[in-house]
Amino acid sequence: MIKAIFSLSPAGGLGNKGKLLYRDKEDLKHFKKITEGAVVVMGRKTFEECGVLTNRLNVVLSSKLKQTGKNLVIFRAIDTLVQFCIQKAREGEDVYIIGGAELLTYFFEHNLIQEALISHFKAERVADAIIDTALLNRFVQAHQPQASKNGNFVLKRYTNFLP
């Protein structure tokens, strides 16, 4: 299944100046728990911020990166990246689109995401990487929202109701 997992400001912000908007310990722990052992897909800027995430297959869309390494696959074109993600999902692997804004937008606009796990943060932050939250209009909330223990965010799980 192709899923998205990311943190979001009230106005749809994901990042600013190549950095995550939120570095919340509880949110990062949740992200690690959910994505370990899975495929994580990201754009170049997200990769430059996060690096190779351990215990995951890291898939990056970039025309510039030259880096190679264990658990790292780089795609130069979006169409081959998408086909790779679809194939991994067909093989029963969880594929998580983790950012940035352009990659998430592409996957949402092309109806490729079946489930989204979003940490909705309460505090607004200045952002230059923004996602249009209207992209979630074809999704329904799947479970009761789960408030973080520290009160900084609410975790919501959405499922795509379009085929």
Question: What does the domain layout of the chain look like in residue ranges?
Answer: 2-160
Q: How confident is the model at residue 161 (pLDDT cuts 50, 70, 90)?
A: confident
Domain 2-160 CATH class label: alpha beta
Mean pLDDT along residues 112-131? 97
- Residue 117 dihedral angles phi and psi, to the nearest 5°: -110, 110
Residue 163 has pLDDT above 70, yes or no: no
What confidence score (pLDDT) does residue 29 get? 96
CB 59 within 8 Å of CB 75? yes
Given the DSSP bridges, would you call strands 39-43 and 2-8 parallel, antiparallel or unpaired? unpaired
Residue 85's contacts (CB-CB under 8 Å, 6 or more residues apart) are 2, 39, 41, 59, 95, 97, 112
Q: How far apart are CA 133 and CA 99, in angstroms?
A: 14
